[in-house]
Amino acid sequence: MDQQQQAHILLFPFPALGHIKPLLSLAELLCHAGLHVTFLNTDHNHRCLTHLQPLSTHFPTLRFESISDGLPTDHPRNVQLVGDLIFSVKSVTKPRFRDLLADLSTKSEHPVTCVIADGIMSFAIDIAKELGVRAMTFWAFSPCGLWSFLCMPKLIEEGQLPVGGEGDDMDQMVRSVPGMESILRRRDLPDICRQQVDDPLFQFFVEEFKAITRTSALILNSFDQLEALTLSHIDPLFSRIYTIGPLTALLTSRIAHDVSRSLSSFNNLCEADRSCMTWLDSQPLRSVVYVSFGSTGMMTRGQLFEFWHGLINSGKPFLWVVRQDGIAGVEGEHAIPEELHEGTKDRGFLVDWAPQEEVLAHQAVGGFLTHNGWNSTLEGIVAGVPMLCWPTIADQHINSRWVSEVWRIGLDMKDTCDRSTIEMMIRAMMEERREEITKSMDRIAKLAYDSANQGGSSYHNLDKLIEDIKKKV
């Protein structure tokens, strides 16, 4: 067999949709290059993605495996209980991963030659090294988020963490993150920075960010032109960095086949309600505000009603993803109040989940009210849709700051949730500042397109990644 046939990559995401989705896109790109790929999910998420199995017929070098996350079947696995998932994976999944990788590396027809593990799954990198398998890290968050995380030990040492305490000036600039001195405020730091430094979850992330530099290579779902300054600070910490984003644009550029056969069309743990596409067809050009706070975002009923009133009062038609499990403290069929459905009939359309990339690409959509998860942020950029940002967790706080102040492709509404502000910000995005924001967005969207197409930086970097995997260096 030649090196291309022998190369076998094991992809192992953290068990959350925002981490699974980009690695599935990478899996498709690697399979398209003729590489053997094993995609490893937890048993829970594997069951949710059973509809992916038939796609193996279109990707003969792809297989799916699963492993326990150690939690009971009925555990909600939501963002409010993410600590349960993190510590269970670390204690229960880790030894099982070692056994599985040992088997795949010795007993498989095509032994695993490279592990690409999620950036907060450092144990997978360490186990791969123990077993003599090359290991790379895939970072599912933004590079600007990564750099702020990597600077956390310095912020702790200087006594700047935690933030958000009583009397804390959250608009004070953070001067200890090189390259961000004039941009980053205390409120823009990742949400974990609002925890006490001795909190077990805080300590977990600090240790993971220290461990990430042990990898032989770092793969980023971003592109050079978007975050050149940040990348210049990260680059010296790693022997190799591959910026290969936006992955959604790279898929479009590299793989010319029916989208219905694509892994990227089947990578959701939730089933999309496609009736919203018919509704969008009936709406005027660039008139609709698309609202989604992601697959794990949570809000209170009070916040739900503030957004509802703000959207109604803005006078704009809106398509709103309101997940049944996305309202804190309420479950089942009564999670979404009936008056919300009734009150949106004339101007709005509610769905439990939407085919987001298709929605953003629809000509009726003129604005994106988002939590600024990195996948959503990149998808908004690729579609060229201005954003209104309401971040809640992880790197979303810093992403929203970059959207508004660095790239100037949207507006930041973090740490506030009242109907008058929501109405005002929607009107600013869709009317008063529309021309200004759209001009910046058009420029950034073109950079994304150019990077992902032949001759672009991400296109080239993917070729380099594939070449290096084949060489098994």
pLDDT of residue 473: 44
Same domain, 140 and 179: yes
Position 334 pLDDT exceeds 60 = no
Q: Does residue 330 lie within any of the structural domains?
A: yes
**Beta strand spans in 315-377 (E):** 318-321, 348-351, 365-370
Q: Give the C-alpha separation, 439 to 388, whole Å.
A: 16
Distances (CA, A) of 378 to 18, 276, 294: 12, 22, 13
Same domain, 243 and 297: no
Torsion over CA of 459, 462, 467 and 470, rounded to 10 degrees? -150
- Where residue 337 sits, what CATH number does that domain have? 3.40.50.2000
Name the residues annotated as catalytic.
Answer: 19, 118
Q: Does residue 61 lie within any of the structural domains?
A: yes
Work out the number of other CB atoms within 10 angstroms of the CB of residue 282. Answer: 9
Residues with Cβ < 8 Å from 347, sequence gap 6 or more? Answer: 312, 315, 316, 317, 318
Closest-CA residue to 340 (of 310, 296, 379) = 310
Domain of residue 391, residue span: 275-432
pLDDT of residue 332: 52
Same domain, 357 and 221: no
Same domain, 158 and 34: yes
pLDDT of residue 260: 43
Taking the complete model, does pTM exceed 0.85, yes or no?
Answer: yes
* Helix/strand number for the chain, H first, E second: 20, 13
DSSP string for 373-437: -HHHHHHHHHHT--EEE---STTHHHHHHIIIIIS-SEEE-TT---HHHHHHHHHIIIIITHHHH
pLDDT of residue 78: 79
Indicate the number of domains in the chain: 2
Work out the number of other CB atoms within 10 angstroms of the CB of residue 17. Answer: 19
User: Kindly report the CA angle at 278 between 274 and 281, in degrees rounded to 5?
Assistant: 135
Same domain, 225 and 323: no
User: Kindly report the CA angle at 378 between 373 and 381, in degrees rounded to 5?
Assistant: 130
Which residue is listed with tokens 């779902």? 221
Distances (CA, A) of 197 to 153, 155, 207, 385: 10, 11, 12, 37
Q: Does residue 437 lie within any of the structural domains?
A: no
Largest pairwise CA distance in the chain: 66
Q: Does residue 124 lie within any of the structural domains?
A: yes
Long-range CB contacts (< 8 A, 24+ apart) of 120-124?
A: 120/14, 120/86, 120/205, 120/208, 121/12, 121/13, 121/14, 121/89, 122/207, 122/208, 122/211, 122/212, 122/214, 123/90, 123/94, 123/97, 124/12, 124/97
Q: Give the C-alpha separation, 330 to 339, whole Å.
A: 16
Position 3 pLDDT exceeds 90 = no
pLDDT 10s digits, 269-290: 567 889 999 999 999 999 999 9
Q: Does residue 444 lie within any of the structural domains?
A: no
Q: Does residue 439 lie within any of the structural domains?
A: no
Token pair recorded at residue 325: 């499990």
- Pairing type for strands 218-220 and 36-42 reads unpaired
Q: Which amino acid is at 74?
A: D
Same domain, 79 and 139: yes
Same domain, 310 and 375: yes
pLDDT 10s digits, 98-135: 999 999 988 777 899 999 999 999 999 999 999 999 99
3-class DSSP state for residue 101? helix
Q: Give the C-alpha separation, 103 to 90, whole Å.
A: 20
CB 264 within 8 A of CB 341: no
pLDDT 10s digits, 213-258: 889 899 999 999 999 999 999 999 999 999 999 999 999 998 865 4
In the structure, what pLDDT confidence band is assigned to residue 5 with cuts at 50, 70 and 90?
very low
Question: Could you give the residue ranges of the DSSP H alpha helices within 217-264?
Answer: 228-234, 247-254
Q: Does residue 395 lie within any of the structural domains?
A: yes
CB 76 within 8 A of CB 47: no
Greater pLDDT, 372 or 262 = 372
pLDDT of residue 80: 78
pLDDT 10s digits, 395-432: 999 999 999 999 999 999 999 999 999 999 999 999 99
